[in-house]
Amino acid sequence: MQKRKLGKSGLEVSGMGFGCMGMSFGYGPPKDKEEMIALLHAAVERGITFFDTAEVYGPFLNEELVGEALAPFRGRVVIATKFGFDLGANRDPRPGLPGLNSRPERIREAVESSLKRLKVETIDLLYQHRVDPDVPIEDVAGTVKELIRGGKVKHFGLSEPGVQTIRRAHAVQPLTAVQNEYSLWWRRPEAEVLPTLQELGIGFVPYSPLGKGFLTGKIDQNTTFDNSDFRNTLPRFTPEARKANQALIDLLATIAEQKKATPAQIALAWLLAQKPWIVPIPGTTKLTRLEENIGAVSVELTSDDLRDIESAASKITVEGSRYPEALEAMTGR
């Protein structure tokens, strides 16, 4: 497994990370704990050293799972987690969406709780999950700076921020990484976020690099999801949108055939080819998919390949918003 550094921070991780959310949250009921622990062990054995979780995934279940599974590998792996929702010490936000809360006292409370669940003395990478419009980002960055000085946190990140927020936070406490959705079917970060990160020397961590499963080519207009699967609420996953967006899958399949790869591997290889400081974090609950994702690191896309993909993709209009309005409003602040 190749390694990559997240910007100028010096934080080195595997070239492919692992998004752990779906093991406990979002994509149907929580999966079998022992099976997921075995899968996380398999990921480490295959060279993955970068794992992503958050207190809100479950809530709390995913951090507990990741903490237990990765306990034998302390010092060999990098665990990223997130704060920013109003969960309190033990508040379960279901049903409905929890509010945002990045007040300094809430950040400190979240960190203490995450340290316990993750079974670590220091959080490797701590993201603000969503920007809280009621708390100046300077206060957030200043609080994390204190936590870093106190040895509770090593690196600071933001998830789905706007570029002015990135600049303001970075001026107080240098950012190691920004995490946004980014893939061949959600390319908005290219306009402003990626150039800003390049300028400032900040790494980029694309979540949902496989379009929440759609870019694997295994989902079509007839696919049905579990009642608790959050894709049921996403405009981009209506049957009509899935039918319209099949053109993107057809493009990936064509290139995959030429490269003796899979559509998912082409989608991930495309991301890796964009910048050397990009580290995608695809998630999975299956060993076969884990191995497929890791295989993307070995797929070479030439400049001609990338130009062909760009040319073909530019002719495809992706249908459907990525999130409902309330969720989308939490991004890009």
182-217 CB burial, b ≥16 within 10 A, e <16: bbbbbeebeeebbebbeebebbbbbbbbbbbbbbbb
- Cβ atoms of 213 and 219 within 8 Å: the answer is yes
Structure tokens at 229: 């699967």
Q: Looking at 27, 57, 127, 182, which residue is catalytic?
A: 57
Residue located via tokens 């752990």: 20
Residue 3 token pair = 């390694």
Answer whether 201's CB lies under 8 Å from 8's CB: yes
Q: Are 304 and 239 contacting, i.e. CB atoms less than 8 angstroms apart?
A: no
Q: How many CB atoms lie within 10 A of CB 12?
A: 12
Which residues lie closer than 8 Å to 136 by C-beta, 6 or more apart? Answer: none
Give ∠ CA 42-81-269 in degrees, rounded to 5: 55
* Sheet containing 177-181: order of strands: 18-19, 50-52, 78-83, 123-128, 153-159, 177-181, 203-207
Q: Quick one: which of 183, 236, 230 has its CA closest to 205?
A: 183
57 a catalytic residue: yes
- Asked if residues 129 and 99 have their Cβ atoms less than 8 Å apart, the reply is no
Is residue 24 a contact partner of residue 68, using CB atoms and an 8 Å limit?
Answer: no
Catalytic residue numbers read 57
